[in-house]
A and B are shown apart, each in its own frame.
Chain A
Amino acid sequence: MSNTKNNLESISGLQDKGRRRFVLGASAMLALAALPFPKNAFAKAISESLTQLSGKVFDLSIDYKTVNFTGKSARATVVNQVLPAPILRWKEGETVTLRVKNNLDQDSSIHWHGIILPTEMDGVPGLSFDGIKPGETFEYQFKVQQNGTYWYHSHSGFQEQTGVYGPIIIDPAEPDPVVYDREYVVMLSDWSDTPPEKIYANLKKQSTYYNYSERTVSDLFTDIRKHGLINTWKARGMWNDMRMSDRDISDVTGAAYTFLMNGKTPEQGWNALFKQGEKVRLRFINAAAMTIFDVRIPGLKMSVVATDGQNIQPVEVDEFRMGVAETYDVIVEPEEGNAYCIFAQNIDRTGFTVGNLTSAAHLVAAVPSMDPAPILGHGDMGMSMEGMDHGDMDHGNMAHGAMDHGAVAHAEMDHGSMAMGTPALGLAGFGSTAEIKHADAEYGPHIDMRADAPQNGLHDPGIGLRNHQAEYNRKVLTYADLKGLHPTYDKRQPSREIQLHLTGNMHRYMWSINGVRFSDAEPLVLEYGERVRFTLVNDTMMTHPMHLHGMWSDLETGDPDFIPRKHTVIVQPGSTISYLVTADAIGKWAYHCHLLYHMPGMFLKVVVR
C-alpha cells in the first residue's frame, strides 16, 4: 500500500521541501543545463553532465582516476577522465576511426556493444585481437551500418565494473521514424569501492556474501501463521532439499553497490530539463556490471520505441526491466509545471538510482519507495507448477499457465510443417518446440540445478514484476510486446536449432554453458549464411542477460513478419527463450552472460566460417 501512496504523491503533487541536498544540487546543475537553446538545438542537446564527442575520428584514452561516490576515495578506470565515458555520436553510413590509448598498467580493450562490424574490430582480447597493451594505442576503424542507442565498454578483466563504459548514439541516415524534441541518455550503472577481483573472490568464498535479504526465523513464523505448519513444511521442503534460497536474487547487491544514473549517485540525483509540449526521448542504457534494473517514471506513460538500438512498434508501458547491456529508448510527454522521478530500482530491491525530469529548476519529484523484494517460486527453478509453493509468486504462476496455450499452438503448427516433410523445428518467429535435453556434462559438482520443466519466458515480466499489473495497475513490458518496426530482415525458416543450457553451481559460484566452462569449451561453429535458432534453457535461478557479438539475435516474439532484433536477451530463471541468428559475419565472436562475474565461465566462442 505504501508504494501506491507514494506513486499518487508523485503524480498529484511535487515535493519541493525536505530534500534540501537534492534540491541544491539540482538547481546548481540546472543553472548550467537551462541555457536558452532554440528548439532545434535541444534536439541535439546532450544529457547534463555527460561529455559528448562527435565526428568521424575519436581519440580515447583509458586511465586510472580517483573517484568518490561513497564518501571514500577509490580508484576507477575511466575513458577521457570521465565516468561514464563520453557519449560517442556517430552518423549511419560514415566510417569512424577510434584511437584508443591504454594508460593502465594492465591490458585493456574497447568493445562496441551491439555494433555490426568486422571481427577484428570487435575488441574482445583473445578473439578479435590481442588486446591493447599498457602504453599502446589501438586504432579501430569500421563503417557504421546501423543507427540507434548503443554503448561501449572494456572487455578486459573486470574494467567494466570500475568505469570503462560509455554511450554510443548513431544518428540515422534516413529521417528518424521516432519523433522527439529533446533527448537524454540515461546510463545506469553500479559502483563499488571494493575492487572487482575482491568481489569475485568473496563470492567464491561465500556465495551469499552480499545477500542481506535471506529468510529469517521470523519469516518462518509468519509463514506458519499464514499457511499452517504442514503447508509451510511442504513449501519449504523443496528449497531445503535442494539447498537453495528463494531469496537469492542478485549475486552482488546494494550491500556492495552504489547505483548511478549518468554517473550521479542517488544522493546527487541526475537532472534533466524539459519545456512545455516537448516529446522527450530517453535513451536508457544498462551499463552495470551485475545489476538488473527495473525502470519507471511515476506519473508518466513511457512509449517504448526501440530496444538494443533497433526500432520497434511503439508500445506504451509503465515499467520495464533492463538486463545488463540492454538498451531501451522511450518517448515521454511530461507536463509543464511538473517534475518526474526517473526511478531505477535493482532487481532485488536493495538499492536504486534516480533522475529528476523537470520543467523548472526548483521542482524536484518525490522519490518512490522500492517495491517488495521478489521471492523465487518453483517455476523459477524450472519445475512443474503442480504443488506450487505459497509464496508471492502465484500471479507469475498464473501467467505461466496462460503461456502454455501458446506453446500448444506452436506444437500444432509444427505438426503441420512435419506433414510437409520439413524438419521438426518450430516455425520462425514462434520459438522452439524441441525437447529439453540435458547434456552429460550437466551432471557433477559444478552444477546444482537442471530445469526439467522450463516455461517459455516470453510473456513473463520476470521475478518481482509479475504482480505489478494486478497490484499497482502498472503495465510491465514483456518480450512478447516487442515487434520490429521494420519487417523481418531474414524471413527464412531456421535450418537447425542449437539448444544451449545456462548452467552453474551458485553455492560454489561456478558458471558454465551446457555444463562446460569457457576455458574447457569447444567453439560453437556456424556456417556463413545459415539461419539458425538459438534456444536458451536457464538451468539456474538467476536471470542471465545473454549477449551474442557480431550478429543480431532475432527474438521470436510470436510475429514472424516483425521479428525484433536484439543484441542482449534476458533468460528468465528456470525458463527458455529462443531467437534466430543469421550467420552473416565471418569471424570469431564472443557469446556470454553479461553479468560480469558470470562471464569468465558462462562464455562461448562462436566461429562463423
Chain B
Amino acid sequence: MKNINVIGFKLSLIAVLFMSGLAQAGGGDDPLLTKVMFDEVERGVGSNEPTSFNIQAWMGKDINKFWLKTKGEYQNADNKELEIQALYSRAIAPYWDAQVGIRVDLEPSPSRNWAVLGLQGLAPYFFEIDAALFIGEEGRTAMRVTAEYEMLLTQKLILTPEVKVNLYGKNDAVLGIGSGLSDISAGLRLRYEIKREFAPYIGVEWARKFGNTAEFARVEGKKVEGTQVVIGLRAWF
C-alpha cells in the first residue's frame, strides 16, 4: 500500500507541475478548469440493498487533464468495494482521450494494484465509451468496457442505457474472480435535469456473473444474477 501511495503522489505531482507549465504558456482561451462529476450516487430500493457510487473528477485544460475515477459499493461489512484510479488524460483525437495511470482496489481485501491504459470518448452514434486495460501484479490482467447512450425523451428528461463488461486474464480465487468474461451489467436510468448540474434519477440495473466467476459465486452461495431498482442522483460542478 505504501508503495502505491508514493506512486500516486508522484503521479499527481507530475500532473500538477505539467499543467502549471501550460498555464504560463497558454493564452486566455484555455483556462485551468476543474470538473467534479457524481455520475451515479444511488441506493437499491428494498431492504439490504447496496449503496453505490461512481464519481469522477478532472482538473486541466483542453488537451491535458489529470483525471480521478472512483467507484464503490457498500452492502455490509463483508460486501464492499472501493476502487480509485488516478490518470493522466490527453486528447488524441477530436472525440477521444487516451488515459494512463494507476488503479487501486482498496476493497475487498486483499487490495489489488493495477497500471491503467485507457481510451475514453464519444464513438460514432453518440456512444460514450470508457475502455481500459489493467495490468496488475503477479501477471494479473483485466479489461473493462463501459458504453453509455443518452436518449432525450424531452430536453430535461433523459433515459440512459448503459452496459459494463469486465474481463480478466486469470483466476483470482481469493476475490472470487475468474478468468475470461467475468461479469456484465446493464442499467437503464431515467433522470430529470432540474438544472444541468443536478438530476435525480430512478433506474434498474441487471447484473450477471459468467464463467469461472459465476462458479466461484455458486460455491460461496452467492447470487450469480440479480436485478435491482435504484434511486439516485447525478450531479456535477
Contacts and interface: CB of A to CB of B under 8 A. Distances in A.
Interface of A: 197, 200-202, 204-206, 209, 212-218, 240-243, 444-448, 505, 507-508, 510-511, 517-520, 600-601
B154 A505 contact: no
Contact of B94 (A197, A213, A218, A505): A505
A510 B124 contact: no
A501 to B, nearest CB: 15
B30 interface: yes
A518 to B, nearest CB: 6
A422 to B, nearest CB: 40
Interface string B24-52: 01111111010100000000000000000
B200 to A, nearest CB: 18
A240 B62 CA distance: 23
B153 interface: yes
B122 to A, nearest CB: 5
A206 B152 contact: no
Nearest to B150: A214
B206 interface: no
A201 B29 contact: no
A601 B29 contact: yes
A89 B115 CA distance: 67
A445 B125 CA distance: 18
B16 interface: no
Given A240-B126, A517-B30, A445 B93 contact: yes
B29 A600 contact: yes
B212 to A, nearest CB: 38
Q: How large is the interface on B (under 10, 10 to 19, 20 to 34, 35 or more residues)?
A: 20 to 34
B94 A507 contact: yes
A446 B91 CA distance: 8
Nearest to B35: A205
B179 to A, nearest CB: 35
B229 to A, nearest CB: 22
Interface in B51-76: 62-63
B95 interface: yes
Interface of B: 25-31, 33, 35, 62-63, 91-96, 122-126, 151-156, 196, 236
Contacts of B92: 445
B62 A510 contact: yes
B31 A201 contact: yes
A580 to B, nearest CB: 29
Nearest to B61: A204
12 contacts: A200-B31, A209-B196, A213-B155, A240-B125, A241-B125, A446-B63, A446-B91, A507-B95, A508-B91, A510-B30, A517-B27, A600-B30
Nearest to A214: B152
The 5 lowest CB-CB distance pairs between A and B, nearest first, are A519-B27, A600-B29, A601-B29, A445-B91, A448-B94
Nearest to B58: A205
Contacts of B124: 240-243
Given A215-B152, A217-B151, A508-B62, A243 B29 contact: no
Given A216-B152, A216-B153, A600-B27, A243 B122 contact: yes
Given A214-B152, A446-B94, A507-B94, 15 more contacts: A206-B196, A214-B155, A217-B152, A241-B124, A243-B122, A243-B126, A445-B92, A508-B94, A511-B29, A518-B27, A519-B26, A519-B27, A519-B28, A519-B30, A600-B30
B62 A446 contact: yes
B33 A205 contact: yes
A518 B35 CA distance: 25
Nearest to B27: A519
Contacts of A242: 124
Nearest to A212: B155
A446 B97 CA distance: 12
B29 A510 contact: yes
Nearest to B25: A519
Name the residue in B62, B94, B122, B156 with the highest tally of chain A Cβ atoms < 10 Å from its Cβ. B94
